[in-house]
Amino acid sequence: MGGASAGGESGVIPATARLLPNGLLLGVKLDQTITTATPVGYAISTKVADSIAAKDGAVAVPAGTVVRGVVTGVRPDSAAQTPILCLNFDFLELKGRSYSIRSSVKSVRINDLPATILSRDSAATIFANAPAGPPKGVLIALAPSLTPGEPATLPAGTTLVVELDSAIAVPAR
């Protein structure tokens, strides 16, 4: 890590630091461990791993920028089902301001191994009986716990690539 990358994870590159475009990819690391015992509604946070440079050379997103979200669904480990966590990232804290965002997660790496991201159709099937319907956000299939009775884990430091699904205008300071 270190230094400013253009476009984060090879996504869209901002022209300036004043407008973060739709499609910008942010490589982030999870600040805390989340498990299938974590309650729905639990607030989560990540930090941008590497600064993202704009085409004009300005730093559009500094390393350490916080992306916040919430656990929106959990399916515990069982003999018949893969454990699943649903996460929705909806706030970006950038240069002293908080921005509501729409985003999607493009990839997840747990201890340098890829995790499986399930489709929205899968969410509708897996959470068909949920009172509020399928949860918002990304569904991440986890490896079952190696210890029977223990929850499956998404450890702190897990790397995610979060894509902005809407542009963000950043006012000049």
> Is a pLDDT exceeding 80 seen at residue 135?
yes
> Is a pLDDT exceeding 70 seen at residue 8?
no
With pLDDT > 70 as the criterion, what percentage of the chain qualifies? 94
Q: Select the more confidently predicted residue: 45 or 139.
A: 45
Q: Tell me, what's the pLDDT at 90? A: 95
Prediction pTM value = 0.87
**Position 83: which residue type?**
P
Separation between Cα atoms, residue 154 and residue 94, nearest integer Å: 25
Average pLDDT, integer, range 87-91: 95
* Helix (H) or strand (E) segment spanning residue 41: none
Q: Where are the beta strands (DSSP E) in 9-167?
A: 19-20, 25-30, 34-35, 43-48, 51-53, 59-61, 66-75, 84-94, 97-100, 103-110, 113-114, 116-118, 138-141, 153-154, 159-164
Q: Per the CATH hierarchy, to which homologous superfamily does domain 4-168 belong?
A: Type IV secretion system, VirB10/TraB/TrbI (2.40.128.260)
Say which range, 79-93, 117-131, 144-158, has the weakest mean pLDDT.
Answer: 117-131
> Is a pLDDT exceeding 90 seen at residue 160?
yes
Question: Which band of pLDDT confidence, cut at 50, 70 and 90, is reported for residue 9?
Answer: low
Q: Tell me, what's the pLDDT at 77? A: 81
